[in-house]
Each structure stands twice: as C-alpha cells, then as structure tokens.
C-alpha cells in the first residue's frame, strides 16, 4: 500500500480498536510507521521553527546590543554577524536595523574617534565593506530606504568621513619621524582611490609651509620617506629639500648641516657650501664650521667658493700643508683642490709643487733602497742555504 493508504488504514483501525496501540500495531505495523514518520517530520518542523524564531530574536536583540559596544572590536564583530545573518533571518531583522540605522552609524563614529589615522583608515575600510554587504543582503526584503541608506553610507564613510579625518590629520601634523608610517598609510590608501591628488593635497600644502632649510625634524622625516611607499609626498619633499640645498641663496641651518655631516651626507654639505652665493649665510657658516673639525674636504669646500667673505683661507691652507709636509697624498689632495692656487698664490703654489716633487723622488729613492735591501736579503738567504747543503755533503 501507498503511504497515504497506510495512514488511512491506521486511523480506521485506531477508531475500531478505540486507539489500542498494541492491536493497532498488530494489524497495521506499516500504518504505525507512517504515522511515526509524519509525527517526526512535524516535530522537526516545529524544532526548526522554534530555532529560527530564537535566532531571529537573538539577531534582533543583537541590533540593539551593537549600540552598547564598548570597543571597536566588539562593534565590528557584531556588525559582521548582522551583515552575514541578515539574509537568513527574515524581514523582521531588516526592519529592526532600519529603525536603528542612525544610532548604529553614530556608535561607529564614536568608537573610531580615538584611533590614529593609520588605524582609522583600516577600520573605515572594514566598516564600509560591511555596509556594502548589508545593502546587498537586504535587497530581498524590498525595504528601499534601508538598502539605499547602507549603500550610500558605505560610500560616504570613505568619501566624506575618512576624507575629513585624513584632512584633519594632514593640516595639524608636525611631520616628524613619528609621522612616516601614518603618511605612508595615507599614500597607500589614496592610491586605491580615484582622487589621489585631492586626498594628498592638504598634506603637501601643509608640509610646504614648513622650512626645509631650518626644520631638522622635517629633514629627518623627508629622509625617511621612500619613493615606493610615500609616492607624491616623497617626490614633493625631496624636491623641496633639493631646492633648499642647491638654491645658492637660501640659508640651511647649522643644525641640519651638522646632522648631515654626521650621517653620511657630507657630499651634499660640501656642494651646498661651495655654491652658496649669499655673503651673509656663507660668512655665518664659515664662523661655525671652517677649521673646526678634521674634515679637510669641508674646509676645502669653503676655499672653493668664489664668494668674497672675511676669511683666513691662505694661512689655514699653508698651515695644513706645512704641518703635514711628509703626507704626500694629503698635500697633493689639497694642492689639486679648486681655488687653492688663487688662495695661496703662485709662489707658494710653486713651492709646494717642488716639495711634492722632492717627496716623490724621496719615495722613489726609498722604494729603490727597499727593493735593493730585499734583494740582498734574498741573496744572503740563498747563499746560506747553499753553504749548509755543501757542509752536509
């Protein structure tokens, strides 16, 4: 018999036996099994409906709980759950979220306010993505206001809120080494957007208000930037720094010059001093740097500058040569440097050349003597070995 026939037979016999289960089972066991199957299905449906109702209630409750989140991680966890549960929990959840959508958004903005800009960028992107998912998952419920709200705000969170956060940071930052990581994060984010230049403009405009020739922290910041990670900010800052060091009429502070000398940037300092045309700035640098260290190239950079200032180049150069007259390499380096001839005069220059020639002759003579001595020593050694061999025979 079919399933339905088994059911009919069960109820027919049940009425005849006054629902005596033993007699019913004896006469129609298949009918009993069919009824049991129906009851099992009904039970499963009831359990499913109860569980679904519980989950819906739990999700609706979560909509209210998200507003009580005390940390961003707690908020994000709840928002993520809402986004994924929304398409499975029915229209009631969507309606509850729609009623509280503004409060949910304000809570998010409140929790984000104390993060640094790098973390804000990451978290705004996370929430924007969740809002876009909520909008997509809500379309099946045809609540246009709800769907449009989350779609619009998924864009506004980045285009307006995060843009404003970046702008505020850019306008108020001091741009020290501590800012490099944040700046690189902003640059990386801007490169994912269509308005890269617009995002970076407040930062670049603010940086350019500072003095690249006087602000040591800005100098360190600039040196820490990389083309790969810092993009347009790297290009702007390095161009401004290059201008300060090569303008020939712009002052670079002694603090920055000292830092450069101590950090493998000596050649840039030499070039700056050699080409500086401002008498005031060159004179100031002369008083603070010339003859103050053992760096002969720094001193020669001043000598190479044609700008006329009060100086003691001639005596200093002559003293260096006199005190190191046996150091042929150093003397040749000094005498071959720019404007040394003009500084010490032709007579002194010729005298130094003669001294160099004599030193070179002495070197050659000493070399010949040394070679002769080495040859003699080798000959003596060979003779001794020969004598020893002859004795043994």
The per-residue pLDDT for range 11-22, each reduced to its tens digit, is: 566 666 766 666
Tens digit of each residue's pLDDT (9 = 90 or more) over 43-53 = 666 555 445 55
Pair 36, 29: CB distance under 8 Å: no
How far apart are alpha carbons 68 and 72 in whole angstroms? Answer: 11
Tens digit of each residue's pLDDT (9 = 90 or more) over 37-83 = 766 666 666 555 445 554 555 555 556 667 777 888 888 888 888 78
How does the average pLDDT of the chain come out, rounded? 81
Chain center to CA of 265: 23
> Which whole number is the average pLDDT over 335-357?
70
Max CA separation in the chain (angstroms): 144
Report how far apart the first and last C-alpha atoms of the chain are (Å, whole number).
129
List the chain domain ranges: 1-68, 249-310, 312-393
Residue 354: per-residue pLDDT: 64
Pair 90, 56: CB distance under 8 Å: yes
Residue 82: per-residue pLDDT: 78
Tens digit of each residue's pLDDT (9 = 90 or more) over 87-141 = 776 677 777 778 888 888 888 888 898 899 999 999 999 999 999 998 998 888 8
How far apart are alpha carbons 129 and 155 in whole angstroms? Answer: 9
Pair 124, 162: CB distance under 8 Å: yes
Pair 217, 176: CB distance under 8 Å: yes
Helix (H, G, I), strand (E, B) or coil at 23: helix
Pair 131, 157: CB distance under 8 Å: yes
Calculate ∠ Cα 298-302-307, nearest 5°: 160
């Amino acid at each position: 018999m079919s399933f339905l026939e088994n059911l009919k037979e069960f109820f027919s016999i049940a009425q005849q036996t006054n629902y005596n289960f033993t007699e019913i089972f004896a006469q129609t066991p298949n009918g009993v099994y069919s009824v049991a199957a129906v009851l099992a299905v009904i039970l499963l449906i009831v359990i499913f409906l109860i569980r679904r109702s519980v989950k819906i209630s739990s999700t609706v409750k979560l909509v209210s709980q998200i507003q009580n989140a005390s940390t961003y991680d707690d908020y994000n966890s709840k928002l993520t759950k809402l986004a994924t549960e929304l398409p499975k929990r029915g229209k009631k959840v969507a309606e509850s979220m729609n009623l509280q959508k503004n409060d949910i958004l304000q809570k998010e903005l409140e929790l984000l306010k104390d993060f640094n800009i790098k973390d804000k960028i990451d978290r705004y992107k996370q929430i924007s993505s969740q809002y876009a998912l909520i909008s997509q998952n809500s379309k099946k419920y045809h609540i246009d206001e709800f769907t449009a709200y989350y779609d619009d705000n998924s864009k506004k969170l980045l285009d307006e809120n995060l843009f404003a956060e970046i702008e505020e940071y850019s306008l108020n930052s001091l741009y020290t080494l501590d800012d490099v990581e944040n700046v690189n994060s902003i640059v990386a984010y801007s490169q994912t957007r269509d308005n890269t230049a617009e995002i970076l403009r407040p930062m670049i405009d603010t940086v350019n208000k500072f003095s690249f020739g006087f602000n040591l922290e800005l100098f360190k910041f600039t040196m820490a930037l990389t083309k790969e990670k810092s993009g347009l900010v790297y290009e702007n800052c390095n161009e401004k720094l290059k201008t300060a060091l090569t303008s020939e009429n712009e002052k670079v502070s002694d603090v920055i010059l000292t830092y450069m000398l101590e950090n493998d940037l000596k050649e840039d300092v030499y070039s700056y001093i050699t080409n500086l045309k401002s008498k005031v700035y060159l004179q100031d640098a002369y008083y603070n740097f010339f003859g103050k260290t053992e760096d002969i190239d720094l001193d020669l950079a001043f000598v190479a500058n044609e700008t006329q200032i009060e100086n003691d180049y001639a005596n200093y150069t002559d003293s260096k040569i006199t005190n190191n007259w046996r150091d042929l390499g150093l003397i040749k380096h000094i005498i071959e440097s720019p404007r040394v001839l003009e500084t010490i005069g032709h007579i002194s220059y010729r005298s130094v050349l003669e001294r160099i020639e004599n030193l070179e002759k002495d070197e050659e003579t000493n070399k010949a003597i040394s070679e002769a001595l080495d040859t003699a020593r080798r000959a003596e050694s060979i003779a001794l070995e020969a004598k020893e061999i002859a004795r043994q025979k």
